[in-house]
Structure 1
Amino acid sequence: MWGENVRSETVGKRRVVAAGHDAGADPRIEALSRAVHRMRRALDGHPAELRDRREAERELEALAAAARSEAPVAEELRHSLLLLAAAVGSVSALARPLAAVREAVELFGTGRPPTGTG
């Protein structure tokens, strides 16, 4: 069995939940984990020498650790994303996986409490 199709109220998108998967898991964290994993694979498979590869790897590890924590802080995610983008943003072969990381980070919102409008 491949899993079941589940609608996430948090993200508003359909996703496939693998058999035996914790249905109560935060879909934002799952999206972040998948995006970081794809970015890591793309970076590992990129044959060219990148001047800032170590920085990119550090920030990917920081993002992965945040996803494992199950309580990522939006400000920290955005900071790591900014440094990751600075490290690999000019490499067109990494643009799609980087965009996926950005989209996953955006799922966490601003991290600031809402302000009243009066």
Structure 2
Amino acid sequence: MIDGDRSGTFAWSAAEVALGSAPGAAGLLGAVLRLRSELAAHRAPLPDRAVAEDQLDALGRQAVSSSAPDTESLRHSLLLVASALGSVSALSAALTELRVAVEAMALPR
């Protein structure tokens, strides 16, 4: 564990998502996994890394949940992840993918 990195704690697979989940769940889980992987590879210290990891875990839990997605929770988690990582250009493509996946899964307002 380096600098409090907890990247090994997230272990959901696409197969878990397929079991009765909401439309867009596989895309959300894929985006979460990609951003977690890229975040783990980004070894520079980030003051809000733990916040981003916690919110990625929350998004992953929603992706594998069999219940309807909580739109406000999805968007809140995305906002916190974007706030924590938005200034890291190396993560911008993965963060954009996450935003698109959350919007695809979230219900219209």
TM-score (normalised: structure 1): 0.70
**Identical pairs, percent:** 48
The correspondence for 1:51, drawn from 47, 52, 60, is: 47
Count of aligned positions: 93
CA contact (8 A) 1:73 1:111 kept: no
**CA separation of 1:60/1:25 partners in 2, compared to 1, >3 Å: closer, same or farther?**
closer
Distance 1:26 1:66 in 2: 9
Partner of 1:85: 82
- Structure 1 residue runs of 5 or longer lacking an equivalent are 1-21, 113-118
- Structure 2 residue runs of 5 or longer lacking an equivalent are 1-17
Partner of 1:72: 69
Q: CA deviation at 1:60?
A: 0.4
Q: CA deviation at 1:90?
A: 0.2
Secondary structure at 2:24 match in 1: helix
Task: For residues 20-69 of structure 1, give each alpha carbon's deviation from its aligned partner in whole angstroms, at most 9, with x where no partner exists.
Answer: xx597644001000000001001011010001000000000000011111
The alignment status of 1:32 with 2:13, answered yes or no, reads no
Secondary structure at 2:33 match in 1: helix
Whichever structure has more strand as a proportion of its residues is 1
CA RMSD of aligned residues (A): 2.2
Distance 2:21 2:93 in 1: 25
Q: Which runs of 4+ in 1 moved over 2 A?
A: 22-27, 108-112
Structure number with larger C-alpha Rg: 1
CA contact (8 A) 2:49 2:84 kept: yes
CA contact (8 A) 2:27 2:101 kept: yes
Q: What amino acid is aligned across from residue 103 of structure 1 in structure 2? A: V
CA contact (8 A) 2:21 2:63 kept: no
Higher relative contact order (CA 8 A, sep 6+): 2
Whichever structure has more helix as a proportion of its residues is 2
